[in-house]
Amino acid sequence: MFKQNYFFAICFLTISQCLFAGEGMWLPIFLKSLNEKEMKSMGMKISADDIYNINKGSLKDAIVQFGGGCTSEIISNEGLLLTNHHCGFGYIQALSSVEKNYIRDGFWARNKAEEHACSGLTATLIVRIEDVTHNILEGVDLKMSELQRRNKVDENIEKLKLVLPRMADQDVMIRSFYNGNQYFAFVTETFNDIRLVGTPPESIGKFGADTDNWVWPRHTGDFSLFRIYANKANRPAAFSKDNVPYKPKHFLPISLSGIKEGDFTMVFGFPGRTTEYLIYEATRQQVEVLNPVRISLRDKTLKIMDKYMRADEKTKIQYASKYAGIANSWKKWIGENLGMRVTNGLDKKLQDDAVFQKRVEQNPKFESYRKLIPEMEFLYKRLEPFTKAREYYAETFVRNVDVYDYYQMVKSLINTYEGRGETKFNSNKEDILKNVNAYFKDFNTSIDQEIFASLLEQFIKEMNPAFVFNSLKEDLIKQKADYKAFTKALYSSSKLTNEDSLATLMAMDYSHWINAVKSDPVYQFYEDMNFYQNNDINKLCFELEEQINALRRTHMTALMEVIPEKRYYPDANSTLRVTYGKVEGFKPRDGVHYLSKTTLDGVMEKYIPGDYEFDVPKKLQTLFKNKDYGIYGDDGKMPLAFIGSNHTTGGNSGSPAIDAHGNLIGLNFDRVWEGTMSDINYDPSICRNIMVDARYILFIIDKFAGAKWLVDEMKLVYPKGKKK
């Protein structure tokens, strides 16, 4: 095992030096040895030490994981955080009401005292990164089963967490890279007192909404501002009125110089998940089997939500965040399939496998890899019907309906009682009772019921009958396959889907409570479903995926050994990464060439008065008419967004776009639709990330919102000769 890991490390440090720009999500600790030379050849003026340094303030000290799923960056010496409007949307929604509609109208604190605390929101900084592969794989050998290996790795991780040096209020997370061939430790600081400072109205922050999502040209001012608060020692602390703005080791200056085609760009953040090294068969199943299931079921869900949201303002507020979350993945999967088709992505995967297999068969030293791809293909084909069924269950009964959350609520209480006793059970139940109205604030029984019935009908018509659990079959027979009647009976007879009945339930003592819950039809439905899934679908999926994961780990090592001229960077896993490229347009199809920049002119071209997606605030119209752009305009235009060849994915939302000098020039918020397949197959011809121009952000804060005090807090870098 030591020899194998030593070989792997050497491959990583030597092969990767033969790469070209654009593709790749790089660990910042390796920039000096792997990427700095190339980055400087592309125009970067700072050093790798300026990007990542544990001995002095560096760019990494301004990069923040926002709420666990997005990125943000510190842009002032007082902990001011910049991230996307869509990243902060759930917290903005939670603070909104019909009377104070921050979604529709926006919100701008006039001073720090007016900033709103965001319950549950966290901001995490990376203190340092360490290669701990030797520690984690100590005692692991090739003779172990996957279960034995995983248990040993988990044991080593827990041991290392106990002894890895860090401060008392710091955490450590250890992540696997290259399919379990390497491990890195991330020492972190997490702040829990995060407050909303400002957000534009959705007619700016979500302009174009779902029609423009994943699309270029783009005209969305997708940003919002928050602030990190710390105790008086500048350390993480729970919310307190005594807390003060955090003083960072580094914050990003903001450049007013603008950008031009070919300029160096760097995106720094926490990309979520990619699977770049899948074999053809795995990729084919994702594109041709799983994505169509997800797309079709979410299409039904979104049409029902949209119908009600357009008809009622309260419903629009209730469902705004849910709709955006469901639509985001739905449209991404459509674009992913489109991109794979346009670039012949599946054919390329097939060719990659063929090249690997040919080299293996031609070289005796690779004999141990001869059966690797055939074995993986066999297992993936066995897995296909089960993963398809698993997706149908998840999209029909879990991801797109809220009723599942109420089942999960009572299920977690049962687990609490059984695992931690009656005292803790009563405490948790009391918390739910106190907040029953909050649970129903964004829930509409009629809408959820209509979605459930619609998805159930498609589930039954398209699912292999062998994968439908018996009690559902029996209940539908009783209802004569009337999906609406079945769903109405399920919801109307449940205590979990009504605020008053749930409050009554939560007021019961345990003996009465447990009897009421276990006889509840919604609870029974999901218990039956989970029992069937766990025993007839998930169990076999797990067994096959365990075998596949072991082969994928070997395949990753084999790729580096057999095809050493190809680029190999670790797949994204929500850890801190750097990607770099340049400002660059693209040609998505014959006869079409997209420029790399947009302006406020495009907003007015798309403007539809009173429209759900393309309305424009009156004040913004006036600023445009008067060309009142202040210091943020450029040659009579107001720059708005731009694209680049930086390799990004989910989790990079809110990441800073940084120029050659280390200044903020934009805010990453999306990818072009044709290039969303970059998660499984990056193609430099069409994969582009979309960024809000920093000048547009400042323009909205200053000229539109009148929050000049926030701009004054930032450090602006002016171009030579421009008046300050």
Catalytic residue annotation? 86, 222, 653
User: Which of 688, 684, 587, 680 is CA-nearest to residue 345?
Assistant: 680
Report residue 502 as tokens: 């749930």
Helices (H), 243-371: 280-285, 291-311, 313-342, 345-362
Q: By the 8 A CB rule, do 253 and 715 touch?
A: yes
- What is the C-alpha separation between 219 and 642, in angstroms, rounded? 9
Q: What is the 3-state secondary structure (H, E, C) of 169-210?
A: CEEEEEEEEHHHCEEEEEEEEEECEEEEEEECCHHHHCCCHH
Joined together, the tokens standing for residue 111 give: 């001073």
| Residues 506, 426: Cα–Cα separation, whole Å | 9
Q: How far apart are CA 377 and CA 470, in angstroms?
A: 32
Q: How far is CA 218 from CA 214, 256, 366, 617, 620, in A?
A: 9, 20, 49, 17, 17
Instruction: Indicate the residue type of 433.
Output: L
Provide the sign of the torsion angle of the four alpha carbons 620, 625, 626, 627, taken in this order: positive
**Spatial separation of the C-alpha atoms in residues 199 and 210, rounded to whole Å:** 19
DSSP track, 17-86:
GG--SSS--B-GGGHHHHTHHHHHHTT--S-HHHHS-SSS--GGGGEEEETTTEEEEE-STT-EEEE-HH
Nearest to 277 by CA among 17, 567, 579: 567
Which residue(s) pair with 666 in the sheet? 657, 693
User: Which value, in Å, is the radius of gyration of the alpha carbons in the chain?
Assistant: 26
The token pair that represents 330 in the structure block: 């739905």
Q: Which runs of consecutive H residues, i.e. helices, occur in 507-577? A: 510-518, 521-532, 539-562
Give the C-alpha distances (Å, rounded to integers) separating 602 from 207, 217, 598, 633, 697: 11, 9, 7, 15, 16
Question: How far is it, in rounded angstroms, from Cα 205 to Cα 321?
Answer: 13
